[in-house]
Structure 1
Amino acid sequence: MFLNDSVWYHASFFSLCLFCFCFTTTLQRHVSTTMGKDQANIKGCRFRVSLALPVGAVVNCADNTGAKNLYIISVKGYHGRLNRLPAAALGDVVMASVKKGKPELRRKVLNAVIIRQRKSWRRKDGTVIYFEDNAGVIVNPKGEMKGSGIAGPVAKEAADLWPKISSHAPAIV
């Protein structure tokens, strides 16, 4: 009787170890496939910033392309909820059209990156920060700026995600 109990105990312990090993390797495989290279490069490792600019918002264009206002049409990479308007935050890519500005830029759909927002957000160090206006810059599909300069400061969150924009920034806050 004692012999049978010990055999059963060793067999159950072995099966438990085998189950734990298989479960952890499956879990690691699942994590590595879901956080693959494609998803990791979209937004990088980024702290959540309060969403401030819904679809339909008009923001200032802070570069020297000749555009004055940008009307947000959609937010790229946004997977939403039923009846919820997509909203953008700092560093997000939006599809926008120019409402005021040079005639060759108007009535075209362009990519833009949000660099300033009025809505306050909290940084990891505990500071709460906001800007006096909402602003964005026009970019091409590669992420390079269409203009050659930026008027006003750029948020650190946007500058970390977009090095080409931070190189043109007069000040990073």
Structure 2
Amino acid sequence: MSKVARRRKVEGVKPKITHGLPVRARLKCADNTGAKLLMIIGVHGYKGRKDRVPTASVGDMVTVVVKRGKYDLMHKPFKAIVVRQRMPYRRKNGQWVVFEDNAAVLVNDDGTPRGSEFRGPIAKEAIERWPSLSVISAQVV
């Protein structure tokens, strides 16, 4: 495991998933922290080309800004993990996965969730990469 992966406490290797969420994409907040709508402003660990917009997918840690929600959370950067995306992606067993919306959960710097419950289904790829999410998640798809 590389130094970067150890520092971010990522357990598993991320499978290749179609990136469907560019910077400035809007996401629902799938936890009970008080945030309603999030906007991606950065993707952690993204290595791209000059002038290429960074993109994220399920299981990626992103930096977000709260656009709607509690006043004390508004317009401040937070870290979040993407748990659902609308763009279809293929699993290794050949199954295609599509969700109804784009969603993320707010986390601390070490990847532990800030909220105490999640709303809606959580992708299996996000749980495998961030095991601390599995403690709270009710539905894993």
TM class by shorter-chain length? over 0.9
Q: Which has the higher contact order (CA 8 A, sep 6+)?
A: 2
Structure 2, unmatched stretches of 5+, are none
- The correspondence for 2:81, drawn from 113, 117, 137, is 113
Deviations 1:10-61 (A, max 9, x none): xxxxxxxxxxxxxxxxxxxxxxxxxx54145455322100001000001000
Q: Is the 8 A contact 2:13 2:129 kept in 1?
A: no
Match of 2:62? 94
Query: What secondary structure does 1:104 align onto?
Result: helix
Structure with greater Cα Rg: 1
Q: Check whether the contact 2:86–2:100 (CA below 8 A) recurs between aligned residues.
A: yes
Paired residue for 1:73, among 41, 55, 73? 41
User: Which segments of 5 or more consecutive residues in structure 1 lack a partner in the other structure?
Assistant: 1-35
Q: Paired residues, what number?
A: 138
Answer 1 or 2: which has greater strand percent: 2
Q: TM-score, normalised by structure 1?
A: 0.77
Letter in 2 for 1:102: K
How has the CA–CA distance of structure 1 residues 142 and 40 changed in structure 2, closer, same or farther, with 3 Å as cutoff? Answer: closer
- The share of aligned pairs that are identical, in percent, is 46
For the aligned residue pairs, the C-alpha RMSD in angstroms reads 1.2
1:73-92 C-alpha deviation (Å, 9 max, x unpaired) = 00011111122100000110
2:118 pairs with one of 141, 146, 150: 150
What TM-score do the two structures reach when normalised by structure 2? 0.93
Q: Indicate the SS of the match to 2:62.
A: strand
Q: Provide the residue aligned with 1:171 in structure 2.
A: 139
Within a 5 Å distance, the mapping from 1:4-153 to structure 2 comes to 37-41=2-6, 43=10, 44-153=12-121
